[in-house]
Structure 1
Amino acid sequence: MIRLRFESRLAAPAQDVLAEALTMRGVNAELMPLLRMSYPREAENFDLQQAPVGQTLFHSWLLLGGLLPVDRHSLAFETLHANGFDERSTSWVQRVWIHRRRVIESGKGCIVSDELEFQPRLPLGATLPAALASRVFKHRHARLRKRYGLLSD
């Protein structure tokens, strides 16, 4: 398993950041223009915090640049928390994809953390898959920091 962790201190209330992060529109706001996740029309305004756990919510294309399909993701949540989620999904590329997001109040803002554990299906070693996932999540956190600003100490 490959394990990665990312964290950003944002100058916005945790509830505002979490509310946006738990919509597919919010997920794509973090991913674009690098990637976009497709989703069914009924998921447009769906609050992921209300999703059923332990079952596939829907299947999604991961689209490079928002256009080119590069993976097919089966989105499922293992646990939902008041301050985030534990996603345990699979895809054509990832045998196991575990994404834990937490959004915790901190002073006048919040701390967003993403922990990843994943196992690629192809025996490529850890370097390339880790570099790709790292690039995507560094991009996501840069988008969060740009949108909400940095929390000053």
Structure 2
Amino acid sequence: MIIERVSVVEGAADRVWARVVTPDGINDEMRPWMTMSIPRGLGPVTIDTVPVGVPLGRAWLRLFGVVPFDYDALTIAELEPGQRFHEKSTMLNMRRWEHERTVTPDGADRTVVHDRVTFELRLSILTPLLAVVVRSFFAHRHRRLARHFASHAGLNGRG
């Protein structure tokens, strides 16, 4: 199953990228529904600083930020700093999870954020239901990201 979401964020691409590759930025997008831990032993990292193509370990997904319900056996397969990352992972309930995000300037202070998620459940009968959940969840993530930059518009003269 492939799901895509594209939106425009009122912020410069370098600032949007700097936000979306950090644990704080990722978790802010996911809240309040869930959060994701950093794999054990990595320390303070961002997507920009992890080794590419190397399994990083398990990033636990926590319902409402508290209850662990799944993990992401995380690997950043490809990285174009400032522009694109492509995660290829497995999860407890998925034999395949891929998340590709691109961040593209749209003028000086606007950015196009494009997410492409590809997944394959271990129990395929649930795919239509999970497709609805993933589509809604990424719409939520885009709204949260846009809201973050809208609330910071004007700081340092930029959004």
Settle same-fold status: TM greater than 0.5.
Answer: yes
Shift of 1:73: 1.1
CA distance in 2, matches of 1:81, 1:40: 22
Q: How many percent of aligned residue pairs carry the same amino acid?
A: 32
Q: For the aligned residues, what is the CA RMSD?
A: 1.7
CA displacement, residues 77-126 of structure 1 (integer Å, 9 cap, x when unaligned): 11001302010011101110010000000013110110011101112243
Q: Secondary structure at the match of 1:134?
A: helix
- Aligned counterpart, 1:113: 114
- Aligned counterpart, 1:100: 100
**1:36-51 maps to which residues of 2 (within 5 A)?**
36-40=35-39, 43=42, 45-51=44-50
**1:24-103 maps to which residues of 2 (within 5 A)?**
24-40=23-39, 43=42, 45-82=44-81, 83-103=83-103
Is contact 1:54-1:76 (8 Å) kept?
yes
Q: Secondary structure at the match of 1:60?
A: strand
Give structure 2 stretches of 5+ with no counterpart.
152-159
Please tell me whether residue 143 in structure 1 is matched to residue 144 in structure 2. yes
Q: Secondary structure at the match of 2:141?
A: helix
Shift of 1:43: 4.6
Is contact 1:10-1:145 (8 Å) kept?
yes
TM-aligned CA distance change 1:11 to 1:79, over 3 Å:
same
> TM-score scaled by structure 1?
0.90
Shift of 1:30: 0.6
Give structure 1 stretches of 5+ with no counterpart.
none
- Aligned counterpart, 1:18: 17
User: Which one has a larger percent strand, Structure 1 or Structure 2?
Assistant: 1
CA distance in 1, matches of 2:46, 2:90: 21
> TM-score scaled by structure 2?
0.87
Shift of 1:149: 2.8
Is contact 2:62-2:70 (8 Å) kept?
yes
Shift of 1:49: 1.2
Deviates more, 1:119-128 or 1:97-106: 119-128
Shift of 1:33: 0.8
Q: Secondary structure at the match of 1:49?
A: coil
Is contact 1:23-1:44 (8 Å) kept?
no
Counterpart code for 2:129: L
Is contact 2:39-2:56 (8 Å) kept?
no
